[in-house]
Amino acid sequence: MEIKVTYKDETYVIYNKIEKFFNPEDIIFLDCSNNDLSSLPESFGNLVNLEKLDCSENQLTSLPEPLGNCINLKILNCSYNRLTSLPESLGNLVNLEELDLNGNFRIKSLPESIGNCINLRKLNFENDNENVYFISLPESIGNLVNLEELILVDNRLTSLPESIGNCINLRKLSIFSHFLTPLPESLWNLKNLEYLHIGSQEITSLSESLGNLVNLKELHIYFNFTSSFPESIGNCINLKKLNLGYCNLTSLPESIGNLVNLERLDCHNNYLTSLPQSFGNLRNLIELDCSHNDLTSLPESFINLKKLEYLRIFSEKISVSEDIKKFIKEIKNVW
């Protein structure tokens, strides 16, 4: 077993029990990752000045309850283990800033006490296993007012708590669940969001309150729309990337022409028959993928997209003017 320890500003690699070499109270960084560990000792609670713990890529099924004594812990990486739950004492880690749970697909929920970790800035919980168990977020998640990044990808979440709207400093939110039902209205209070990625086949519409997110730079939506996309998208004038692929859309709103800073638009694999007349206002557009739709024409304003370098537009039904044909020939990459 190889363990890296930072002790009094020096880093050591040891192959035995750390207690034989160091005073536990003086250890500030401990890396015991990738050691095939099945458990951590209760004595971890003695590491009261520990600031960073990396126990990733082991076989851990639980974390010791005394870990809650490590009140100076700022970074906890326990990704890619076999954790089934987290201890309630996690809430004692009031100085925790980053928590990485990626790959622990057996965890069903987070403890209510996580709401006490008021200095948490990053919470990552992404899975790549089809048997993932995670089904709920505690209401206390709304206490994390300093949270800037929340990643919950590939899980069985069916809803988000209304309290998520209290996480007013969120800048990046990524949630993907095939079972997620309509989003809470409070979500649109997160006006500092810059990156939003939400996917669910159970969601069929999006609130007009989307337009409240005026600081969005990237928006990735994967829904099964049965209604039109919100006109309020036109308020999100800072958007640079917009991904609406596989959304079952039959049209794009005219207000999309307000997105004058948009550089990349992906609306492939929908049921679009045309693009809005305002499309030509997207003068900063560099990449456009509207392939695998039912497009029959393009608006004449299309020739205003002077910065367009990548275009995917394959459609057997499309018919365009000679001016547009000439314009498309001048684009560097066309598929």
Please state whether the predicted TM-score (pTM) of the whole model is above 0.85: yes
The rounded distance, in Å, linking the Cα atoms of 206 and 238 is: 19
The rounded distance, in Å, linking the Cα atoms of 115 and 126 is: 20
**Which amino acid makes up residue 198?**
I
Residue 95 confidence class, pLDDT cut points 50, 70, 90: very high
Q: Which of 56, 18, 52 is nearest to 34 (CA)?
A: 56
Residue 128 confidence class, pLDDT cut points 50, 70, 90: confident
The rounded distance, in Å, linking the Cα atoms of 217 and 21 is: 50
What's the average model confidence in pLDDT over 312-321? 86
The rounded distance, in Å, linking the Cα atoms of 302 and 87 is: 57
Contact yes or no for 169/193 (Cβ under 8 A): no
pLDDT above 70: percentage of residues in the chain = 93
pLDDT score for 20: 54
**pLDDT (tens digit, 9 = 90+) per residue, 236-251?**
999 999 999 999 999 9
Residue 1 confidence class, pLDDT cut points 50, 70, 90: low
Tokens, residue 169: 């400093």
pLDDT score for 6: 60
Residues 6+ positions from 46 with CB-CB distance below 8 Å? 24, 25, 66, 69
User: How high does pLDDT run on average in the chain?
Assistant: 92
What's the average model confidence in pLDDT over 161-190? 95
Domains in the chain (CATH in brackets) are 1-96 (3.80.10.10)
What's the average model confidence in pLDDT over 303-312? 97
What's the Cα-to-Cα distance from 158 to each of 105, 176, 183, 202, 205, rounded to whole Å?
16, 10, 10, 9, 16
Residues 6+ positions from 92 with CB-CB distance below 8 Å? 68, 69, 71, 113, 116
N-to-C CA span, the chain = 53
For the chain, the three-class secondary structure string (H helix, E strand, C coil) is CCEEEEECCEEEEECCCHHHCCCHHHEEEEECCCCCCCCCCHHHHHCCCCCEEECCCCCCCCCCHHHHHCCCCCEEECCCCCCCCCCHHHHHCCCCCEEECCCCCCCCECCHHHHHCCCCCEEEEECCCCCCCCCECCHHHHHCCCCCEEEEEEECCCCCCHHHHHCCCCCEEEEEECCCCCCCHHHHHCCCCCEEEEECCCCCCCCHHHHHCCCCCEEEEECCCCCCCCHHHHHCCCCCEEECCCCCCCCCCHHHHHCCCCCEEECCCCCCCCCCHHHHHCCCCCEEECCCCCCCCCCHHHHHCCCCCEEECCCCCCCCCHHHHHHHHCCCEEC
